[in-house]
Every structure is written in C-alpha cells, then in structure tokens.
Homo-oligomer: A and B are copies of this chain.
Amino acid sequence: MKQIAIVDVGSNTAKLIALAYEPGRRWRQLDELRAVVRLSEGLEAGGALQRKPFARGLAALRTFASYARAAGVDDLVATTTSAVRDASNGADFVAAAQAIGVDLRVLGGEEEARTGALAVANGLGVRDAVTLDLGGGSFQLVELRERRWHRGGSWPLGAVRATDRFLHGDPPKGKSLRALVEATRAAVDPWFAAGGPVGTFVGVGGTLRNLANVHQKRVGYPLDLLHGYRLPAADLAALATELAGMTTAQRAAVAGLNRDRADIIAAGATVIAAVVASAGVPEVVVSGQGLREGLFYPYLLPDAPDHLLDDVRTFSVLNLMRQYHDDPAHNGHVRALALTLFDALAGVHGLGPAERELLGHAAWIHDVGMAVDYYRHEHHGLMLTLGRALPGFDHREQVLLALLVRYHRKGTPSVDGFEALLAPGDLARLTTLAGMLRLAEYLERGKAQRVTGVDVELDGDEVRVLARSEGDVHVEVEAASLRRDLLAAALGRRVTVLGRDEVDP
C-alpha cells in the first residue's frame, strides 16, 4: 500500500488526511489532523491576509509537514484556495510555506471547482448534477454532465467571509441577513437561469455537513452517516432562519452543531439556503467527499479516463471487501452461486435487476465481519457495512446490503429500526435475497469451491437444487439442506438440496 497526505488550507479550517491506497484497487483513511485557522479573518476584498491568520495558517502547515515527515508518506499534496488566492500578499504566504519545506499549490477557482466535481462524481456516482461547495472564503457551483465538469462559478461568499462582510450584531440584524440573501441571489440567479433544469443537487463542505448533522439528530435518523443524506430544502431553509435568529452562544448549544462553527454558521446556512432557493430543488444530497478526495483520485486512478471510476458501486463494495475480508475466491463463488439461483428462480420470486445487483454486491461482502471475529460475524458485518459511506449506494440500498450481510448465515430477517429508510416490500425482498444468499453460502461451506455450480429444477411446489461437483461435497449439501428453510418460506415452496450424484442414474 502507498501512503499519501493531502492538505487543504481553507479559509476556515486547515486539514490533513492521510490515506493508504493501492492504485486502481482500494484505499482507506489512516489519520486526520485539523486546525481552525480562520485564514480570511479580517480580509478585505483585494486586501492582505492579516498577521494573526497568516501565522495560524503557517503554524498549521508546519505541523502537517512535520507529521508527514514522521509518518513517511510517499506524497504530500498541499493546496490552498480562495483566501490565499484572493489576498494581495498570497505570494508571501506561498513563499513562507516554501521556507518551511511545503510546496503549496494555490488552486484557481475553476481548478478548485473541477477538483470538487471529481470527488462528487466518484463519491456519489451521480451523472448529471449541480454541486454547491461552500467553504470559509468562497463557494463554488459546478454543473456536472455525464459525470464531468460542464460549467462552474466561484463567488467570495464563504461562511467566514460572508460573516465578516455582511452580518452585524449578535444575533445578526435582520437587515444584514437580508442583504446577504440579496447578494447571494444576485450572484447565482443568473447562473441558474443560464443552465437547464437542475438534476440532483449536491452539497459539499463543513457548513452543510454540520446542518445535516443537526437535522439528523432532530429527526432521529437511524444511521450515523452523512454522505448521501438527503436534506429537504424546506427543512434547510427553516434551520437557516432558526440559526440566524440566535446568538452565537445559543447556536453553540444546538445539538449536533460544531462549536467551532457557532459564529459563522448563521451566514453559511443563510447563503446555502439562498442558493438552494435559487436552484428551486426539493432537497440537497450531502457529499462527505470534497476537495481533498478530488485531489486524491488522480493518485488512486492514474490510468482511468479523467480519473473517473468505471463503476462506483462495484468499486465501493470491492473496497469494503478488500479492507476486511479479502477472500475473492470464496466471496466470488458465493456470488456466482447466488446469482445462478436468482436467475433460475426468476419466475418464482419475480424480482428484477435492481435486486439481482444488490444480491451480487452483498455476496462480495458477506464475510467482512470476520475481520472482527468469527463469532457473531454476521452482526459485525452489519456494523462494518453501515459504518462508513458506501459511494454510489443510497442509504436504503446500503441498509439492505447490511441486512443481507446480517442474515447471510442465520436468523429470521427483520428490518427493525430501519423502517424509516426502507420502501414497501423491502422486508419481503430482503427475505428472498437472504434465502438465496444463505443457500449459496452453505453450498460453499468448505470455502473450497467444491460445488462447481447448481442446477435448479422446478417441479410443482418443489424447488430442487442440484449441486454439481467433481468429488466430495457432503458437507456442502448437508449444510445447505439444514439452511434451506428461509428460502422455502420466502418462496412458499419446498426446497430440497441434493448432490448431482444423488439423482443421476
């Protein structure tokens, strides 16, 4: 595995993420360092970075460089965006960074927008979308078409800068809030008017993640996952109004709100709500990936066209499998057997390509919980599958995958606790798919691919599963027979499992 550290000195926060990766195959996060630098504090339009913010930004870079040396990363990628880009003494900051050994790249507005768009294309798997990335200094809008940057814009109305330039009083005066909304609308209304209908509306950045976190706490969201969360536009607008009516101290006490942002989130939320209103969309899909991940994809996918993942969902699933239980022979064989059962029983279960795809993905990852322990590994697997973003899947799909992992070997499927995320009929879908996955898993009980394939015979109300092999598959046939009840109940048929040699004359 190679290691890389990606640094972004933003207008509000400087952050380092350390990642381990194998190009084209997998990656995982190793570490994270964070410092609130407020680089754009007191920065006038066309003016200079002030002394204290300059020193804070440099101190963060010194820490990050020291960490990167100690950790021995293969690459250190350090960038900065609008605060340094727009400051009259930005070149001095770059030179000061150079003097402490950091090669700091100042991203142009379009480059920043393109980089963020790459993260959204790979991280959410969206094809056509508009992305709003609001940082401390500025925000960017990008229109993605066919997963690629189509057009974009950047405006110096990030959360820190908008607070400094517009808001007065604590709580902020109504007049100052209205001026901020007007300035935002004046900036983005023409941009939206110039484009076609907005498809998926994606939101990036710490301010939006924080708003989504507050929202999740209020609705009692059953998952601890921000990436892919759908925040209704009406709730976002109400939350922005609520936060703008509070003092900083009151905001700091709001459940789920990060105290570091209590002073700037009123402006940030106001700007986001105004942009969303201008877009006229019903909801914002949160992206947990942004600029830093966008900077990483060229390293992860050096050979892919435009550094785009070929298939976001499959990559997510394989990345999960490779991190926790990299046994492609067993997992792939369970997958092949499960899909054979699915296809042979299509006329009985009546499920379609969406369910077939989920079954195949679940088979890849069914054993990830073994990384924790053999005992209860189906429970550990549920936890691991829900424990992080699974790019390309929405939360309903991710829950269904996790429940397939949970029920791949034992237990009667239940969706308790996840009902709010699921669709009508999902329990029945889950039960049928788990029934097939379980049969496939036990047909691979020896983990040696001894059952080379299955033939399925339908005879009245009986389903006969015949295990093909070139030798002893006693344990597999017996194990599958003992676990056939779930599938039988799901299909409302008798299920029998036999070795091919037990039926051939």
Contacts and interface: CB of A to CB of B under 8 A. Distances in A.
B67 A475 contact: yes
Interface of A: 28-33, 62-63, 66-67, 69-72, 371-375, 383-384, 387-388, 445-448, 450, 472-476, 478
A474 B62 contact: yes
Q: Which one of A31, A67, A476 has the highest number of Cβ atoms from chain B below 10 Å of its Cβ? A: A67
A70 B475 contact: yes
Given A71-B446, A448-B71, A472 B375 contact: no
A446 B69 contact: yes
Contacts of A374: 28-32
A57 to B, nearest CB: 15
Nearest to A59: B478
Given A71-B446, A72-B448, A474 B66 contact: yes
A349 B66 CA distance: 33
A65 to B, nearest CB: 9
Contact of A70 (B373, B446, B478): B446
8 contacts: A32-B374, A63-B475, A70-B445, A70-B448, A70-B450, A70-B475, A71-B447, A371-B371
Nearest to A444: B70
A388 B371 contact: no
Given A31-B374, A66-B446, 4 more contacts: A63-B474, A63-B475, A66-B473, A67-B445
Contacts of A447: 70-71
Contacts of A67: 445-446, 475
A227 to B, nearest CB: 12
Contacts of A476: 70
Contacts of A71: 446-448
The 10 closest A-B pairs by CB, nearest first: A70-B446, A70-B448, A66-B475, A66-B474, A67-B475, A29-B374, A63-B475, A66-B472, A67-B446, A70-B450
A321 to B, nearest CB: 15
A371 B323 CA distance: 9
Contacts of A375: 29, 388
Nearest to A20: B374
A478 B63 contact: yes
Contacts of A478: 63
A56 to B, nearest CB: 13
Contact of A387 (B62, B372, B387): B372
Contacts of A387: 372-373
A478 B374 CA distance: 41
A16 to B, nearest CB: 10
A319 to B, nearest CB: 13
A283 B199 CA distance: 68
Contacts of A383: 372
A375 B28 CA distance: 11
A346 to B, nearest CB: 30
Contacts of A371: 371-372
A374 B388 CA distance: 10
Contacts of A33: 475
Contacts of A388: 373, 375
A29 B376 CA distance: 12
Contacts of A372: 371-372, 383-384, 387
A375 B32 CA distance: 9
A373 B32 CA distance: 12
A441 B67 CA distance: 14
Contacts of A28: 374
A412 to B, nearest CB: 15
Nearest to A18: B374
Contacts of A446: 66-67, 69-71
Contacts of A69: 446, 472
Contacts of A373: 29, 387-388
A373 B28 CA distance: 8
A33 B445 CA distance: 10
A501 B407 CA distance: 58
A474 B387 CA distance: 33
A473 B447 CA distance: 49
A260 to B, nearest CB: 14
Q: Which one of A31, A374, A388, A472 has the highest number of Cβ atoms from chain B below 10 Å of its Cβ? A: A374
A420 to B, nearest CB: 23
Contacts of A445: 67, 70
